[in-house]
Amino acid sequence: MTHNQFDNKSQAWSALFSEPMSDLVKRYTASVFFDKRLWRADIAGSLAHAEMLCAQNIISPEDHEAIKQGLNAVAAEIEAGKFEWKLDLEDVHLNIEARLTQMAGDAGKRLHTGRSRNDQVATDVRLWLRGEIDLIGELLRDLQIALLDVADRNLDVILPGFTHLQVAQPISFGHHLLAYVEMFSRDSERMSEVRRRTNRLPLGAAALAGTSYPLDRERVARSLGMVDDHGQAQICQNSLDAVSDRDFAVEFAAAAALCMVHISRLSEELVLWMSQNFSFIKIADRFTTGSSIMPQKKNPDVPELARGKAGRVVGHLMGLITLMKGQPLAYNKDNQEDKEPLFDTVDTLKDTLRIFAEMIGGQANPANGLIEGGISVNAKAMERAASLGYATATDLADYLVKKGVPFRDAHETVAHAVKTAISRQIELSELPLEIMQQFNPLIEADVFNVLSLRGSLQSRDVTGGTAPHQVQLQIASHRARLE
Ligand code: ARG
């Protein structure tokens, strides 16, 4: 057995340990098989730290050069899949540092000057998450554009709007989709706010109390792009807090969970709309699956699965926030448990956003630029559904109010009209004028304009309302925002 510090964990710490760690404990405490995915952030953080150590005359230019070359060589090895990750070296940080030291000798051993794995890991997770938040921002944008494209094509398509899943009032399908654009635009805002608090530098906090070396933390922050909109370096101001809190991860998980909940609500609607009882939409075949026993089936597995995955991401939020509860200052090993839920949250959210943008908006065919796939809308079925269920009853009440009837009385009058229509098994617009005039003599022939679905839609011409003209304005302002 060698006593090389990189092969034997009991020697990795110091001579203090009289026996090696048991294999079970090694496996239990190691994180390398999941945290290796932080390698780019780890190397970026080390390069910035080494550059600053040299600028501050804490290490020599020769050592800095050797570290730089060594880390670039390590990065190349990892990139090429040639790096050998070792469980014995516990985590991504020790694995990379050990390989660097094999390549760069004593210079490699000087890299850890004025630094601890505690501030190192906090920096790595923040850097990595910042990059993922940026990718999520782009995916959220793609999804909003897909929804806007479909909304644009379906401004004048009418479907029943529901409350309590009972037919309530007719709405434009474009308007319905814009509700989700609003939700995803707020998700995107939340992600930007989380990014701002994530993009702060823990390095320099060292193990917990700061360090006695004359570090230039601003310099490191600037070289890692941890700056605000005015280029001001963003630095964690308390060393104990810097190494120990993971509130940025909790906030991110909360924003991600909320976004998945929005996806889940949309999924529920897609599933309903696809069922034969609605037949409002079709989803391109490549997003559906068949049944092994019932040959006629086409199942909306993607939205169903997304609805299920929303639960999983909410679970990660619970895991992460509970992880922090009861941790005394400063760093505790509990924090190593932040990674798997965070990684899975990012993966699940990104995959879901990507697949939804394509499932809803379709995809450009590279051969001819034409959009293929996406949801297709059965306008007839939607309109038929809106014309059943007395969806324009409120319009009749509003009609009476405009003729001077107090709203509560108008409401009561319309209830009688609906009751009569139900007993005759006809729609409100099919009630003869003479019958309606029995409910209220103020009713005249122009009532049929307001009882039509299009008339009802057109009349809701208020900001945020469902009149196609308003929907058009909203689409334009969303497009301008997303440009
Ligand atoms: N793998 C550890 C983590 O993820 C790195 C920090 C370990 N620090 C320590 N003192 N054990 O949190």
What mean pLDDT comes out for the span 466-481?
A: 98
The domain that holds 449 is classified in CATH as 1.10.40.30
- Best residue among 123, 246, 336 to mutate for probing ligand 1's pocket (most ligand atoms within 8 Å of CB) is 336
Distance CA(309)–CA(437), nearest Å, equals: 54
Amino acid 3: pLDDT: 42
Q: Which of these, 4, 38, 102, 18, lies nearest to 342 by C-alpha position?
A: 38
**Per-residue model confidence (pLDDT) at position 5:** 47
Instruction: Please tell me whether residues 174 and 189 are part of one structural domain.
Output: yes
35 alpha carbon to ligand 1 midpoint, in Å? 10
What's the CA gap between 356 and 374, in Å, rounded? 9
For residue 347, the CA-to-ligand 1 centroid distance in Å is: 23
335 lines ligand 1 (CB under 6 A): yes
pLDDT for 389: 87
Ligand 1 mean position, distance from CA 346 (Å): 21
Looking up residue 245, the CATH number of its domain turns out to be 1.20.200.10
The CA distance from 275 to 268, in Å, is 11
Atom 2 in ligand 1: which residue has the minimum CA distance?
336
pLDDT of residue 363: 85
Last residue of a domain, one of 372, 404, 420: 372
The response to whether residue 117 sits with its C-beta less than 6 Å from ligand 1 reads yes
Q: How far apart (Å, rounded) are the C-alpha atoms in residues 80 and 242?
A: 33
Could you report the per-residue pLDDT of 317-362, keeping only the tens digit for each? Answer: 999 999 999 999 999 999 999 999 999 999 999 999 999 999 999 9
**313 within a domain of the structure (yes/no):** yes
Mutate to test the pocket of ligand 1, among 9, 97, 118 (most ligand atoms within 8 A of CB): 118
Q: Is the CB of 264 under 6 A from ligand 1?
A: no
Domain residues for the domain of 416 are 387-482
Do 259 and 164 fall into the same domain? Answer: yes
Distance from C-alpha of 451 to C-alpha of 426, rounded to nearest angstrom: 13
Q: What is the pLDDT of residues 120-138, one digit of tens each?
A: 999 999 999 999 999 999 9
Question: Is residue 30 within 6 Å of ligand 1 at its C-beta?
Answer: no
Q: What percent of the chain has pLDDT over 90?
A: 89
Cα-Cα end-to-end distance for the chain: 62
Q: Is the pLDDT of residue 4 over 80?
A: no
Please state, as a whole number, how many other Cβ atoms lie within 10 Å of the Cβ of residue 131: 14
Same domain, 449 and 463: yes
Whether residues 47 and 168 share a domain: the answer is: no
Q: Is 459 a catalytic residue?
A: no
Kindly state the average pLDDT of the residues 78-100: 98
> What is the 26 CA–ligand 1 centroid distance (Å)?
13
Residue 31 CB–ligand 1 contact under 6 Å: yes
According to DSSP, the residues that pair with 363 across neighbouring strands are 372
The Cα diameter of the chain in Å comes to 103
Query: Is any ligand 1 atom within 6 A of the Cβ of residue 198?
Result: no
- Total-model pTM: 0.94
User: Is residue 144 in a domain?
Assistant: yes
Last residue of a domain, one of 372, 404, 431: 372
Give the CATH number for residue 93: 1.10.275.10
Amino acid (1-letter code) at residue 179: A
Selecting among 3, 14, 164, 423, the annotated active-site residue is 164
pLDDT, residue 371, reads 80
**Which pLDDT band, with edges at 50, 70 and 90, does 12 fall under?**
low
Enumerate the β-bridge partners of residue 95.
none
279 has a pLDDT exceeding 50: yes
Residue where one domain finishes, among candidates 372, 397, 418: 372
Q: Among the atoms of ligand 1, which is closest to the Cα of residue 91?
A: 1
170, 290: one domain: yes
pLDDT confidence of residue 123? 98
Distance 123 CA to ligand 1 centre (A): 12
Whose CA is closest to 111, among 167, 159, 70, 154? 70
* Structural domain contains residue 382: no
Mutation test residue for ligand 1: of 93, 117, 123, 339, the one with most atoms within 8 Å of CB: 117
Same domain, 358 and 304: yes
Q: Cα(341) to centroid of ligand 1, in Å? A: 16
DSSP string, 70-104: HHHHHHHHHHTT-----GGG-SHHHHHHHHHHHHH
Q: Is the pLDDT of residue 11 over 60?
A: no
Q: How many domains, the chain? A: 3
Greater confidence, 364 or 111? 111
Between CA 240 and CA 237 the distance in angstroms is 9
Residues 181 and 312 in one domain: yes
List the residue whose alpha carbon is closest to atom 12 of ligand 1: 336
Beta-bridge mates of residue 161:
169
Among 60, 275, 291, 376, which one carries the catalytic annotation? 291
Give the distance (Å) from ligand 1 centre to CA of residue 336: 6
* Ligand 1 pocket check for 244: Cβ under 6 Å: no
Instruction: Return d(Cα 53, Cα 67) in angstroms, integer.
Output: 11
Residue 49 counted as domain residue: yes
Q: Let me know if residue 218 belongs to a domain.
A: no
Same domain, 360 and 474: no
> In terms of Cα–Cα distance, which of 25, 191, 213, 37 is closest to 121?
37
Same domain, 132 and 266: yes
Query: What tens digit of pLDDT does each residue of 190-219 get?
Result: 999 999 999 999 999 999 999 999 999 999
Highest-confidence segment of 296-310, 334-348, 351-365, 384-398: 334-348
Least confident segment among 196-200, 388-392, 399-403: 388-392
| Domain co-membership, 103 together with 171 | no
* pLDDT attached to residue 2: 40
The reply to whether 11 falls in a domain is no
Ligand 1 within 6 A of CB of 392: no
Report yes or no on 435 lying in a domain.
yes
C-alpha 358/C-alpha 364 separation (Å) is 10
Residues 295 and 432 in one domain: no
Name the pLDDT band for 295 (thresholds 50, 70, 90): confident
Examine the domain organization and report whether 58 and 183 are in the same domain.
Answer: no
Look at residue 1 and tell me if it is in a domain.
no
477 in catalytic set: no
- Cis previous bond, 330, omega within 30: yes
The verdict on the CB of residue 123 being under 6 Å from ligand 1 is no
Residue 61 has pLDDT above 70, yes or no: yes
